[in-house]
Amino acid sequence: MTFFEHIDALRPHLVRGFSALFIIMIVAFVAKKFIIDMVLMGPQSPDFPTNRWLCELSHRLFGDDTLCINHIKLNMVNTALGGQFNLHMQVSMVTGVVLAVPYLLWEIWRFVAPALTSYERYKSRMFVFYVSVCFFCGLLFGYFLIVPLSINFFAGYQASADITNMIDVRSYLTTVLTVSVACAAVFQLPLLIYYLTQMGIVTAAFLRKYRRHAIILLTIVSAVITPPDLFSLVLVILPLYSLYELSIFLARHVERKKAKEEAANGYPVDVPQEDLEE
């Protein structure tokens, strides 16, 4: 196919993708009260499920408010004349992109699929599903756990007693969206490692070698955003470390499978013996 023939083949996928994106953006714009008031503004409220659950758990375990976070509702300010309208538009756009991720990935796969061999199509048939599941699991993890802890840390941090916080609503919503989407991206790590291992770029031995470095890095990041207690630290670090261990498991699985295929076909096997024996 020529370049222009590829463009013609891509056009219907672009039309369907942008149409779906536009429709979701319109729905998000109309559902302003739910998305902004309940979803995005929710994590800073004492009644948010995570905040309420941690406080109830603290009362049962310690009999005090050790684990209570975001117990004081923040007062948001807008400093621009058209700030709230622009914010409404931006939130609608981001919501549209986030919710349209599975469909957009599906359209991308449909465009690429004809160029793949039957074996490659078979191997990649669940790509969209796995990426979407990891994306939304990360999004929910970030929204329900990391975002409330981050808000509690940043809102309560005080460099000087002479400074009074006047939190701009744009800054708050940017934090909520950025942290949530960042966690969604981090949860793609196992899939990324899986494909990198298939291409021979990463090995299970390499990941095991730097396991301690990963633990230290995750501990530092978790300690920064969590309250000063061991329970909150463990609550954050365990899921993140589990992703790293899952990545090692997937890398080892790929190496074993490649070794068996190479052995069956008479190719040399270069997978470490320890990975074959585990």
Kindly tell me the burial class for residue 154, based on how many C-beta atoms sit within 10 Å of its own C-beta (0-12, 13-18, 19 or more).
middle
Task: Give all strands (DSSP E) within the chain, no chain letters.
Answer: 76-77, 167-168
Q: Is residue 149 a contact partner of residue 233, using CB atoms and an 8 Å limit?
A: no
- Residue pair 197/203 in contact (Cβ under 8 Å)? The answer is yes
pTM of the model: 0.82
Q: Does 189 have pLDDT greater than 70?
A: yes
- What are the domain boundaries of the chain? 1-186, 188-278
Q: 133-160, pLDDT tens digit by residue?
A: 999 999 999 999 989 988 888 888 888 8
pLDDT (mean) for 47-63: 87
Band (pLDDT 50/70/90 cuts) for residue 219 is confident
Instruction: Give the pLDDT mean for 19-40.
Output: 95
The CA distance from 137 to 102, in Å, is: 13
Q: How far apart are CA 245 and CA 237, in angstroms?
A: 12
Q: Enter the DSSP assignment of 76.
A: E
| Residue 259 DSSP class | H
CA 161, 167, 173, 174 dihedral sign is: negative
Do 275 and 204 touch, CB atoms closer than 8 A? yes
